[in-house]
Chain A
Amino acid sequence: MAEPMKIRAKLEGDVLDVRVLMAHPMETGQRKDGAGNLVPLHFIQTITAQLNGKPVFQADTSQAISRNPVFGFRLKGAKAGDKLSITWTDNKGDKRTDEIVVGAA
């Protein structure tokens, strides 16, 4: 079961500054475990963000993104009470969605 993301969203006027911290090993497929075996490729491939159900931001990512990734993006036209939803999917088909309600500026 994928672990929850931590989403921070700060409203400045009508611009929402979003930072999201995701729990994911982002394995490159190059790392060897304690027994000397290669740990298979396991990484987030797609991230989508929706504001009030409308897709506003999307990322396609590789295993070159750091472990336990952090991303930042900025949304225009946001206001308090808006619902921000972020979803990631990885190369194994796992996915995780977390939502927050935007607080006042």
Chain B
Amino acid sequence: MTELSRRTALKRTGALAATAIAAGWLRPGAALAEWNKGAFESKTVADALKHLKIATPADTKDIVIRAPDIAENGAVVPIEIQSNIPGTKSMVVLLEKNPFPYAANFDFAQGAALPFVALRVKMGETSNVRVVVTTADGKFFTAAKEVKVTIGGCGG
């Protein structure tokens, strides 16, 4: 990348970051466009959480995970997550037995987005779907739900 285009790129990132900071919801220590490669390439939940700078989360019943007990097809597992923890700022979704457990992170602008998300994931085998919530004051909470993934049917 030439010096000129690098400076332009940095300026652009800076401008984006400034907009996001002004909006008051940028998560600390990460630029708007940064995608956490270390976390996404982690092969264990523990490693992923380390890369995400998430310290040991406390178990909670205030994260409600709606997902099938048995997935009709492991390629499309529908999940809905609702956090009833006040000040929920972000949610991390980990599929514990997947080759790369860290599947997604969701950031909710305080006051603008409710702490709720629906997504569809690929699961290779029966495993826990684990959610870790980060609150605005920097605390971590977690809950999990098991989804069974089996050999299927006939495709009809």
- Chain A interface residues (CB < 8 Å from chain B): 15, 19, 28, 45-46, 49, 51, 54-67, 69-77
Minimum Cβ distance to chain A for residue B147 (Å): 13
Whether B58 sits at the interface, judged by CB under 8 Å, is: no
Hey, which chain B residues are within 8 Å of A66, CB to CB? 75-77, 120-122
Minimum Cβ distance to chain A for residue B69 (Å): 19
Closest to B106 in A: A59
A-B contact count (CB 8 A): 99
Minimum Cβ distance to chain B for residue A58 (Å): 4
Given A55-B23, A62-B103, A15 and B114 contact (CB-CB distance below 8 Å) = yes
Say whether chain A's binding surface is mostly helix, strand, loop, or mixed: strand
Q: Is the CB of B121 within 8 A of A64?
A: yes
Closest to B90 in A: A58
Hey, which chain A residues are within 8 Å of B80, CB to CB? 72
Q: Is the CB of B107 within 8 A of A76?
A: no
Known: A58-B32, A59-B104, A59-B106. 6 other contacts (CB 8 A): A56-B109, A65-B104, A66-B121, A69-B119, A71-B118, A73-B116
